[in-house]
């Protein structure tokens, strides 16, 4: 049982997920400023990269019509 009584939906990262991930990644990544893209490329664990990763995941799930808990 989860401590906070919330059940998280487990996302199956199958072919459909990764196809959507690729499309959304391309859209979002190239819409970033060149400096931010370079920061992410240089350090994939930087603040901008983590923020980008969260936004990417939200958008992919939205495309898959899932909700995050």
Residues 19-63: pLDDT tens digits?
999 999 999 999 999 999 999 999 999 999 999 999 999 999 999
Cα–Cα–Cα angle for 28, 34, 39, rounded to 5 degrees: 90
> Is the confidence at residue 18, as pLDDT, over 90?
yes
The reported pLDDT for the residue numbered 68 is: 44
Residue 1 DSSP SS3:
coil
pTM of the full structure? 0.75
Instruction: Give how many domains the chain has, as a whole number.
Output: 1
Q: Could you tell me if residue 55 is inside a domain?
A: yes
Strand ranges for 1-69 from DSSP E: none
Q: Could you tell me if residue 7 is inside a domain?
A: no
Q: Could you tell me if residue 10 is inside a domain?
A: no
Average pLDDT over residues 13-19: 92
Q: Could you tell me if residue 38 is inside a domain?
A: yes
Q: Could you tell me if residue 42 is inside a domain?
A: yes
Number of residues in the chain: 69
What domain range is 42 assigned to? 33-64
């Amino acid at each position: 049982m989860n401590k906070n009584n919330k059940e998280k939906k487990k996302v199956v990262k199958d072919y459909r997920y990764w196809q959507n991930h690729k499309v959304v990644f391309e859209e979002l990544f190239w819409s970033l400023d060149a400096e931010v893209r370079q920061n992410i490329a240089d350090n994939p664990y930087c603040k901008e990269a983590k923020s980008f990763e969260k936004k990417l995941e939200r958008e992919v799930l939205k495309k898959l019509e899932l909700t995050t808990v």
